[in-house]
Amino acid sequence: MGNRKTRAAALVAVAAFFVACAGTPEVPPDTEAIRDYVGVGELQEVDELRTTLGRDEWMPLTRRFVIYTGRDGRFLLEFGYPCREMFDNTTITPDRRNDRQFMRRGVDTLRGCRIDKIYPLTEAQAQEIEALAKTAGDGN
């Protein structure tokens, strides 16, 4: 009887493992590479960045990351979910901002996608991340 219980418990554990693995979404290599850079480089999050009222620029790196150039320099923006609007120009969703002079994480959007994290970058860091995204993205 104990042997049956052990087998049943093992079967349940194996089934739970396969269900958990099947439900885990695969992270694209370019997104994973940028997250690794942020972690290893110990980039510090900020809550907001200052905008320049219509003269700001952004460059999409992946569906989750953008390099944004604002009033105070360059920033790495991370979205909480993949943002199709960065690459799909058929649907342009307007930005939602509470203040025209600032962009805040967790509140404001870029092309309709909510900004989850903001990291200030030096020019050298921005160039490294751009190259990293391009290199890792070529492997797809």
Strands (E), 20-112: 48-50, 57-60, 65-70, 73-79, 102-104, 109-110
Domain definitions of the chain by residue range: 28-137
pTM above 0.95, yes or no: no
Region 71-92 average pLDDT: 84
pLDDT in tens, 32-71: 889 999 999 999 999 999 887 777 888 999 999 999 998 8
Q: Give 140's pLDDT tier (boundaries 50, 70, 90).
A: very low
In this prediction, residue 1 carries a pLDDT of 52
